[in-house]
Amino acid sequence: MKDYINSIYKNHSQFYKILLFVVTTLLIVFIFPKSGRFKYKNFEKGKLWQTENLYAPFNFAIKKSNAELDKEKALIESQTTHFFNKNEEVEAKVKFDYEQSFNTVFKDTLKNYNDLKTKGLSILNELYQYGILNEDLNLNEDDKVVILVDNVEKKTTKFSNLQKLGTIKIKIEKELQSTYLERYSNSLTTLFFDIIKSDLNYNKQLTENVLKEALDKISQNRGVVDKGTLIISKGEVVNDEKYQILTSLSKEYESQVWSKSNYNWIVLAYTVLVALALLMLLLFIRKYRLDVYKNNTKVTFIFFNILVIVLLTSLVVNYNSEYVYLVPIAILPLVLKAFFDARLGLFTHVITVLLLGSIVPNSYEYMFLQIIAGIVTILTISELYKRANLFISVGQITLVYIIAYFAFFVIHEASIDNLKWETFGLFVLCGLATLFVQPLIYIYEKLFGLVSDVSLLELSDTNSKLLKELSNKAPGTFHHSLNVANLAEASANEINANAMLVRVGALYHDIGKMKSPTYFTENQSSGLNSHDELSPKESAKIIINHVIDGIEIAKKNNLPDRVVDFIRTHHGTSQVYYFYMKEKANNEDVDINDFTYPGPKPFSKETAILMMCDSVEAASKSLKEPTSSKIDNFVENIINKQKDDGQFLNANITFKEIESIKKVLKRKLANIYHLRIEYPE
């Protein structure tokens, strides 16, 4: 049991990665839409069917196209019936008022009294035959109208037969025109306007309900394809009819009704795909970024970012897939490059895009655009801490999106007549959203304890609290660190290493000397050597301990691990050779381990650069009457000894890069000592 527990403890890091892998896979599958996907998704109208003959895998209905449905809806809307409620009491009241008012307006002694009264009553009957509207309605003259009395259908007619209050005067003039009663037209009109009231009210709710009922009866289908029926043959043109059948089959695959019976299979398939993709990423990290793989926080950080991008994209796809290009996926390689390197950032970006390709429409177009955008992101961003670089890179990413999308659109449509300009707006908004990477990097630094170039820039400030303390307690060490930082930065630029990181590492690599500054020669200004009172073994212990002390001080001041690595490795497993030889002169039986730094050896280009520059700069103080040849031999001897001792075996630095660093150091030291050409006498 004890051995089992010990085994678990020793392999807890591996167990954590397995758990992280499983949880991330399940979360991504949970986020993904669970519908089936038609494998021939990218068919186009008017193009040849390039794949094998396609037979109906099951019975399915042929869906009507949007144009067909719109046409049917327009027809029903044009034939809709409009309902009006009629109040019959109004007509009776108006006729009663007519009898009373007519006798007041026209005297019974009038010659044509009876004829005029009869004519007026006849006009009233015509006006109220179907009724008079109380409002102006924007209906067609031929629209069907049903008149209801007490919610019972009374009459059916056309809208043109309904009377409007504004046309009463015209109606009277028309009836009396060219008759002997024409001269009474104005008086009769005035009378009518005093007594006439509308008796029709438009029943909008009933009209809309009837229309909705008719629209709901529209069938979404226009036929059925039986299982096993040949849908389209290889090489056949996808015409309108074939296109609609293929679209119907595609929708049937993705319909909720069909996918429920296959839900478990779909989930299993998604799980396999996602697991494969994440496994490839883990294997890549394990093989090419072992330091990242060993750090569970960094692996968690990478998986967390993939999960966030998948979540955002899935939410947008579920809401409206037309906005899928609004998701700033280029943030992913930007963030990973800021904390790790370009190669890991690009590989992770490609894996994420491949995952998303299974849920977005036009997957090939989407993956092409996003992978190209990721490559441009990696190639254009060199120094993220410089704000101008980020804006330039975002502009280039946006431009690449627009150009690539335009090319795809022309390929699909063979013209630009129907170009969707709003998609270009989505790309611009996506570019603006990518600028959020700066505050996002700061948030990630606080959450995951990582360090980016932006933080390195802040740490390189020599006015920081820790560096000021170093300059006060150990001014010689501080000056030495500045010189090493300049040499290391120039060397890093020469071989395309991280110059900002190596400069910061150089500034802090000797902070452990603050604990016992006078035991280091660069701080001995009085001419007294504190080591004279100690044995060589005690002196060596103090010298070696400055590495351990430096790590403690760095941890206490919350310096990032990437900076602490420089403190830990800048002497590797080399020896304090001076005190070793001094002890050996007095005692032949000497344990060399007492005079050896604990290591580890440098394990990156940057830490290897610091070891070389630190050794060369420190030893250069012992040069007497330096010349070009002396400096050249001096640099060669120091770095070759480190190389022969195997100090660079764990670092990914080549012989060619080491030779380039030698040249930089020789040139820089020559400038420091102001060497001139020696002319013959």
Note whether 28 and 97 are same-domain residues.
Answer: no
Task: Assess whether 280 and 383 both reside in one domain.
Answer: yes
Q: Is 631 found in the same domain as 545? A: yes
Residue 357 inside a domain? The answer is yes
Query: What does the pLDDT read at residue 37?
Result: 56
Q: For the CA atoms of 350, 355, 359, 365, what is the dihedral angle to 10 degrees?
A: 20
Q: How much is the average pLDDT of 593-607?
A: 89
Residue 431 forms part of a structural domain: no
Structure tokens at 262: 């296959």
Of 539, 620, 543, 547, nearest in space to 582 by CA: 539
pLDDT at 531 over 70: yes
Letter for the amino acid at 336?
L
User: Is 526 within the bounds of a domain?
Assistant: yes
| 308 and 362 assigned to the same domain | yes
Same domain (yes/no): 164, 266:
no
> Which residues are within 8 A (CB) of 420 and not within 5 positions of it... i.e. 6 or more apart?
409
pLDDT digits (tens, 9 = 90+) for 200-211: 888 888 888 988
Q: What average pLDDT does the segment 590-598 reach?
A: 84
Both tokens of residue 489? 């930065």
Question: Do 188 and 169 touch, CB atoms closer than 8 A?
Answer: no
Q: Give yes or no: residues 359 and 482 share one domain.
A: no
Structure-model confidence comparison of residues 173 and 324, the more confident one: 324
pLDDT tens per residue, range 541-557: 888 999 999 999 999 99
220 assigned to some structural domain: no
Confidence bin at 42 (pLDDT 50/70/90): low
14 within some domain = yes
The answer on 616 and 481 residing in a single domain is: yes
Average pLDDT of every residue of the chain: 83
The answer on pLDDT for 442 being more than 90 is no
For residue 11, being part of any structural domain is answered with yes
Number of folded domains that form the chain: 3
- 368-386: pLDDT as tens digits: 888 998 888 888 776 666 6
386 shares a domain with 313: yes
Quote the CA–CA distance of 282 and 271 in Å, as a whole number: 16
Whether residue 148 contacts residue 86, with contact meaning beta carbons closer than 8 Å, is answered with yes
pLDDT score of 257: 47
Same domain, 385 and 526: no
Separation CA 241–CA 665 (nearest Å): 75
Expressed as residue numbers, the domain containing 358 is 2-33+262-422
For residue range 109-123, what is the model confidence (pLDDT) as tens digits? Answer: 667 777 777 877 888
pLDDT at 23: 94
Q: Does residue 614 sit in the same domain as residue 495?
A: yes
How are beta strands 54-55 and 230-232 bridged, if at all?
antiparallel
Query: What's the distance, Cα to Cα, between the start and end of the chain in Å?
Result: 85
User: Is residue 521 assigned to a domain?
Assistant: yes
| H helices present in 80-130, as ranges | 88-105, 113-127
Please check whether residues 392 and 488 belong to one and the same domain: no
What is the total residue count of the chain?
681
Measured between alpha carbons, how far is 176 from 122 in angstroms, rounded to an integer?
Answer: 11
In this structure, are 8 and 105 located in the same domain? Answer: no
Rg of the chain's alpha carbons, rounded to an integer?
44
The pLDDT confidence band at residue 346, using thresholds 50, 70 and 90, is very high
Decide if 241 is inside a domain: no
The CATH number of residue 605's host domain is 1.10.3210.10
How many other CB atoms sit within 10 Å of the CB of residue 87?
A: 17
Exposure string of 8-25, with b = 16+ CB inside 10 Å and e = fewer, is eeeeeeeeebeebbeebb
* One-character DSSP codes across 376-416: HHHHH-S-TTSHHHHHHHHHHHHHHHHHHHHHHHHHHHSSS
What is the tens place of the pLDDT at every residue in 4-20? 565 555 677 888 999 99
